[in-house]
Structure 1
Amino acid sequence: MNILVAMDSLKGSLSSVEANKAIAEGFLQANSNFIVKTVPVADGGEGTVEALVYATNGKFVETVVTGPIGESVHAKYGILGDGVTAVIEVAEACGLPLLTKVKRNPRITTSYGVGEMILHAIDKGCSGIIVGLGGSATNDAGVGMLQALGYRFYNQEGGMVGFGGAELNNIVKIDGEKVAERVKSVNFRVACDVTNPLHGVNGAAYVFGPQKGATPEIVLELDEGLRHFADVVLNQFGLNLQDIPGAGAAGGLGAAFAGFLGAKLESGVDLILGQARFEEKLKGVDLVITGEGKLDGQTSMGKAPAGIAKLAKRKRIPVIALAGDISEGNPSLHESGISAYFTIVTGPVELKTAMVPEIAKNNMKRTAEQIGRILIMK
C-alpha cells in the first residue's frame, strides 16, 4: 500500500515535518512493507517557509532585520528548489511572538523588517517572492515595509513620517521615485485567507487590533489612520485600497502588497499545495493522511487538510485526518473529502501536556500504527 502523509503543523507543538515523520514511523512499525512518503504542507501561516523549502528541496536563509519595535531580530526565509523563488513569512520580521504582551502596541510597531527581508531575497537573485501573511504585530498598512523598499511618506511639514500605525494620520504625500527597478520587477504572490477590508468595523484595526495590544481608544485611532491613508492613496493614485478583498490582512500589509507591489492575494492552501506540486504526488497513492492541531468548522474553510482532501477526492483517494482536538459534529469535514477523522489523544489531558512535542509525537506514532494494523487486515 502506498501512503502519502501530509500533515499541517500542530501550532505550538509539532512542525509539519515532525508530525509527518512520527506518522510515517507508526505506519512502518505496523508493516514495514508499507510505502510511506511525506509532503510538508501549510496554509500560508506559520510553517509556510519550512513546508515549501522541504517540499521543493530548497534551502533556508538567515538574515538580521529590523524588528517590530525597532530592535534587530534574526529572521529566516526560504529559497525554493528553483533557486529564484523566495518564500517569506511576515511574522519572522514583525510577528506577535517577537514581543511580550507588555510591549505589544500597534501605534508604534512597524513592518519595516519585512521590506528588508524582501531586499535580501532580491540580492540573492530571487525574482519571485511568495509571502505568508499572518501573526503580525503591526497595524501600519504596510507603510514600514514600503519605507524599507524605497517609498517615501511625507507629513504636512515636508518631513518623513516615522514608524507605526499612529503615523498614518500624518501622511499627506507618497513618493515612489526612489523604489529600485529590481523591486518593481519582482513577482509577488501573497497567501491570504481573509477578505477583511482595510478600515471600518470589519477592517484591520477593529478585527485584529485588540490581539496586538490595542485598547478601544487605540482601535479608533488606528482605524482613522487607515482610513486617512486610504484617502491619500485614492486622491494621489486613483487606487481604492478599500475595494481590495484582504487589504486588512496583517495590519494592512495586504493593502501594501496588492496596491503598491502588484501582488496577487491568493488562497494560502491552494498557493502552497500548487508550489509543492501536491496533485502530482498523489499519483499511485492509495491513502492520504492529513490533519492539524484542531479540526473544527474552520478546517473546511481554507485550511490545509480540507485543501488536501479536495485534491484527493478528485482522484477518489480516501483521506484520514488526525488532530489533537476535534470539535463535535463536523459534517463539513466529510463534505470536503475527508473520509474519517480521529483524535490522537488517548483520554482526558490538559492542553499544555498534550502539546508537549515528545508526547504529541508518540501520540501521532501510536495512532498511525493502529490505523496501519487495520489496513493489514484488509
Structure 2
Amino acid sequence: MHILIAPNAFKNSLTAQESADAIREGLIRSGLNCSTECFPIADGGDGTGRLIVEKCQGLWHEYNVHDPLGRIIRAPVGIIDQGKTAVIEMADASGIRILREDERNPLKASSFGTGELIRYALDRGVKSIVIGLGGSATVDGGIGILSALGVQFLDVNGKHINALSENLKYLNSVDLSEIDQRIFDCRITVLCDVDNLLLGSNGAAAVFGPQKGARPEDVPVLDAALAKLSDCVFKLNGKRMNEIVHGGAAGGVAASLNALLDAELLNGAEHFLKLTGFSASLKNADLLITGEGSLDEQTLQGKGPFAVAKYAKEKGIPVIGFAGKVPLIDQPEMNKYFNVLLAIGNQPEDLASAMKFTASNLIRTAKAAGSLISLLK
C-alpha cells in the first residue's frame, strides 16, 4: 500500500509539513506494511508561498520593508520558474503574526510592506507574481500595497492622504498617474483562501476585522472606509469592487488588486496543487490522508483538504481526514469526499490545551488508523 499524506497546517499549532511528518510517524509506529509520501498542502493561507517555493525548488531573497505599523523588518521574496516568477507571502510583511496582540488594530495597520515586496520583485525583472493573502493584519482594502506602487489617494482638495483605513473617510479620488508602470507588464495571480465579498455582513470588515483586533465599534467604520474606496474606484474605472468574488480576502486586498491592477483571483488550494504537481504524486497512491484543524461544511468551500479529497475521489482513491474538530452529526456532503473523518483529541479539554498536543495526537490517531488497516488487510 502506498499512502499519500497531504494535510494542511493545523492553524496556530503545526505547519503543514509538521502535520505530515506526525502522521507518517504514526503510520510507522503502527507497523503497517506501506510506503508513504508527505505532500504538505496550502490553500492561500499563511505558509502557502513557502510551500510553493520549496516544492518548486526556488530561492529566497530578503529585503527591508515596513511592517503593518511602519517598522523596518526583513521579509522574503521567493523566485521560481527560472527567475520568471516571484512568490510573495502577504503575512511575511503585513501579517498578524508580526504584531503583539496588544498592537493589533486594523484601523492603523498598513499593507505597504507587501507593496514594497512587489516592487522588489519587479526590480528582479519577473514576468509573473504569485501572492498568498492569508494571515494579514490589515483591513485597508490594499491601499497600502497600491501606495507603495505609486497610486495616490486624494481628499476633496486634491491633497494626498496617508494610506491607512482610518483615513479613508477623507478619500475623494484615486490617481493612477504615478503608478509603477512595470506592474502592467507583469501577470499578477492572487491566491485566496476565502470567497467573501468586500462589504456587508459577510464582508472583510465584519468577518475578518475582529480576528485582526477590531473592536465592535470599529467594524462599521472599517466597512464604511472600504465602501468609500469602492465608490472612488467605480468613479475611476467603472468596476464594482463589491461584486468581485474573493474580494474580501486579506481585508479587501483581493478586490483592489483585481479592480486596479487586473490581478487574477484564484482559489488558493486549486492553484497550489497545480503549481506543485500534486496530480503526479496522487497517481501512485492507494490511500490519501489529509486534515487540518477543523473539517466541516466550511471545508467544502475550497479549503485545501477538500481540494485534495476531490482529486482523490475522481480517481477512486479512498480518503481519510484527520482534524481537531469534526462534525458531530453525519454530513452527507462531506461523505462524498471523505470516507472516514477522525477527530484526533482523546479527552475533553479546552482549545489551548488541545493545540499543545496536536503533534502527539496526530501520531496517536495515525498509529490507530494504521493498526486498523493492518487488521483489515
- Answer whether TM exceeds 0.5 for this pair: yes
CA separation of 1:116 and 1:29: change in aligned 2, threshold 3 A? same
Q: Secondary structure at the match of 2:290?
A: strand
Q: Does 1:53 align with 2:53?
A: yes
- Range with greater deviation from structure 2 (337-346 or 314-323): 337-346
Identity of aligned residues (%): 40
With 200-209 and 302-311 compared, the bigger mean Cα shift is at 200-209
Shift of 1:153: 1.9
Root-mean-square deviation (Å): 2.3
Aligned positions of 1:320-359 closer than 5 A = 320-332=320-332, 334-356=334-356, 359=357
Q: How does 1:14-25 map to 2 (within 5 A)?
A: 14-25=14-25
Measured against aligned partners, the alpha-carbon deviations of 1:107-154 in whole angstroms (never above 9, x if no partner) come to 221110110111222333432222222332222211110010111222
CA shift digits 1:193-251 (9 cap, x unpaired): 43433333433233333333334443333333222222222122222222222322222
Off by >4 Å, runs of 4+ in structure 1: none
Name the CA shift for 1:201/1:4 in 2 (closer, same or farther; >3 Å): closer
Q: 1:363 Cα deviation (Å)?
A: 2.7
Say if 2:359 is the partner of 1:366: no
Letter in 2 for 1:342: L
Contact 2:32 2:371 in 1 (8 A): no
CA offset digits 1:86-106 (Å, max 9, x no partner)? 332222222222223432222
Kindly indicate whether the alpha-carbon contact (under 8 Å) linking 1:189 and 1:264 is maintained by their aligned counterparts in 2: yes
Check whether the contact 1:309–1:336 (CA below 8 A) recurs between aligned residues: no
Counterpart of 1:368, as a letter, is A
The structure-2 alpha-carbon separation of the partners of 1:364 and 1:223, relative to structure 1 and needing over 3 Å to count, comes to: closer
Structure 1 residue 32: deviation in Å? 7.7
Please, which moves more after superposition, 210-219 or 163-172? 210-219
Paired AA for residue 139 in structure 1: V
Where in structure 2 are there 5+ consecutive unaligned residues? Answer: none
Does 2:238 match 1:238? yes
Q: CA deviation at 1:184?
A: 1.4
Query: In the alignment, is residue 176 of structure 1 matched against residue 163 of structure 2?
Result: no
Return the alpha-carbon distance in structure 1 between the equivalents of residues 217 and 343 of structure 2.
42
Structure 1 CA distance, aligned partners of 2:145 and 2:155? Answer: 18
C-alpha change, 1:199 and 1:334, in structure 2 (3 Å) is closer
The amino acid of 2:100's aligned partner reads T
Deviation at 1:333, TM superposition (A): 5.8
TM-score, scaled to structure 2: 0.91
Deviations 1:49-76 (A, max 9, x none): 2322232223334333111111123324
Give, in angstroms, the shift of residue 291 of structure 1. 0.5
| Distance in 1 separating the partners of 2:240 and 2:346 | 52
Flag structure 1 segments of 5+ consecutive residues without an equivalent: none
Name whichever of 148-157 and 188-197 sits farther off.
188-197
Q: Secondary structure at the match of 1:129?
A: strand
AA of the residue aligned to 1:115: G
Equivalences for residues 31-46 of structure 1 within 5 A: 31=31, 34-46=34-46
Q: Give the corresponding residue for 1:290.
A: 290
Q: 2:58 & 2:205 partners in 1: Cα distance?
A: 36
2:113 is the counterpart of 1:113: yes
Tell me which amino acid in the other structure corresponds to 1:370.
A
**Does residue 319 of structure 1 match 2:315?**
no
Q: Secondary structure at the match of 2:131?
A: strand
Q: 1:58 to 1:34 in 2, by over 3 A?
A: farther
Distance 1:32 1:206 in 2: 47
Partner of 1:5: 5
- Any conservation in 2 of the 1:59–1:81 contact (CA below 8 Å)? no
Instruction: Look up the match of 1:264.
Output: 264
CA 194–26 in structure 1, closer or farther in 2 if over 3 Å, else same: closer
TM-score, normalization by structure 1: 0.91
Q: AA paired with 2:182? A: R
Question: CA deviation digits over 1:242-271, x for unaligned, max 9?
Answer: 222232222211111111111111212112
Describe the SS at the equivalent of 1:7: coil
In the TM superposition, residue 42 of structure 1 has moved relative to its aligned partner by: 0.9
